[in-house]
């Protein structure tokens, strides 16, 4: 699970997790990597430095969640507000994993859900991908056995075909072509989406982004030719939020760009709201 802000300056041992390293491919030439001190170097000579915090930036410059958004998310998740969702995701993702399994978290953020999964499947390895280096600084230290790389999920992934036993996609862009390619035959795809009622009580006070009521229908339709649905679970969590918690839950995602500070400043009392999610589990078809 996420360890909170106190770990931000913690030392990160040199070395990328071997299973994750073996799954990576150079984004320039698709050659395999090997570790050379604090760098990953492919057989063609392309080299990428491992940051002091442990992640590797394979995409160069890019965009992603800001440091402020990442801090808000880390503080909110570390308080345990979404712990029931993390347990459910971990239960589904860690089910029947082999000893040397690889779990790819596409859009890992701070690594909160990937860490929960590895805590349940101790012998597995995690590979977290995200565009936000601010988030990856935390993800790389969220749990032993996580390799974290900066990458744009809309581009072909720097991961070998059939390398992943499980792919997790939690509130993140879904590159279904790459999910199908990177998953092994009969591999598992775990997708988490917000329900249309998610945090609906907050909308009484704040003009937040709406969640599409047809989201699940469109999700199933987009996946039906390459994946089969094997399970679906609703997850509702009643939350008691102080004003600072409301600030964090708004600023940890896209609403950070849409909700004016004045709207949040007007909330000065404790609110009871419901977080509502849907966890969908799919099997990769040949």
- Rounded to the nearest 5°, which phi and psi values hold at 36? -130, 95
Is 111 annotated in a binding site? The answer is yes
Can you list the pairs that 125-128 forms with residues at least 24 positions away whose Cβ atoms lie under 8 Å?
125/17, 125/18, 125/19, 125/20, 125/100, 125/101, 126/17, 126/20, 126/102, 127/17, 127/20, 127/23, 127/24, 127/102, 127/103, 127/159, 127/164, 128/104
Domain boundaries, the chain: 5-284
Is 126 annotated in a binding site? The answer is no
pLDDT value, residue 121: 94
Is 46 annotated in a binding site? The answer is yes
Residues 256 and 101 sit within 8 Å (Cβ to Cβ) = no
Sheet holding 56-57, edge to edge: 56-57, 146-150, 125-130, 102-106, 164-170, 183-194, 271-284, 227-241
Is 117 annotated in a binding site? The answer is no
pLDDT value, residue 14: 59
Is 42 annotated in a binding site? The answer is yes
pLDDT value, residue 98: 85
Exposure of 168 by Cβ count < 10 A (0-12 exposed, 13-18 middle, 19+ buried)? buried
In this prediction the pTM is 0.93
Distance of CA 127 to the CA centre of its chain: 10
pLDDT, block means (10 residues), the chain with 286 residues: 40 76 97 96 96 94 86 97 98 91 98 98 96 96 97 97 98 95 97 95 89 89 93 97 96 90 91 97 94
- CATH number for the domain whose boundaries are 5-284: 3.40.50.150
pLDDT value, residue 209: 84
């Amino acid at each position: 699970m996420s360890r909170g802000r106190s770990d931000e300056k913690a030392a990160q041992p040199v070395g990328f997790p071997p299973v994750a390293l073996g799954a990576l491919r150079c984004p320039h030439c698709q050659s395999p990597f090997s570790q050379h001190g604090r760098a990953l170097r492919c057989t063609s000579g392309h080299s990428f430095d491992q940051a002091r915090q442990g992640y590797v930036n394979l995409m160069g410059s890019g965009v992603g969640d800001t440091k402020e958004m990442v801090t808000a998310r880390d503080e909110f998740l570390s308080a345990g507000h979404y712990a029931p969702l993390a347990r459910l995701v971990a239960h589904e993702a860690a089910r029947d994993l082999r000893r040397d399994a690889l779990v790819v978290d596409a859009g890992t953020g701070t690594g909160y859900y990937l860490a929960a999964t590895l805590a349940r499947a101790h012998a597995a390895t995690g590979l977290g991908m995200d565009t936000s280096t601010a988030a990856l600084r935390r993800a790389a230290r969220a749990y032993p056995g996580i390799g974290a790389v900066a990458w744009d999920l809309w581009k072909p992934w720097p991961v070998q075909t059939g390398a992943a036993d499980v792919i997790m996609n939690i509130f993140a862009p879904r590159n279904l072509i790459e999910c199908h390619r990177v998953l092994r035959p009969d591999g598992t795809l775990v997708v988490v989406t917000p329900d249309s009622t998610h945090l609906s009580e907050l909308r009484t006070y704040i003009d937040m982004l709406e969640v599409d009521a047809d989201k699940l229908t469109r999700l199933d339709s987009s996946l039906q030719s390459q994946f089969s649905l094997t399970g679906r679970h609703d997850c509702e969590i009643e939350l008691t939020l102080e004003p600072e918690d409301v600030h964090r839950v708004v600023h940890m995602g896209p609403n950070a760009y849409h909700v004016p500070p004045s709207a949040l400043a007007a909330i000065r009392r404790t609110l009871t709201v419901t977080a509502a999610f849907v966890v969908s589990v799919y099997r990769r078809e040949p």
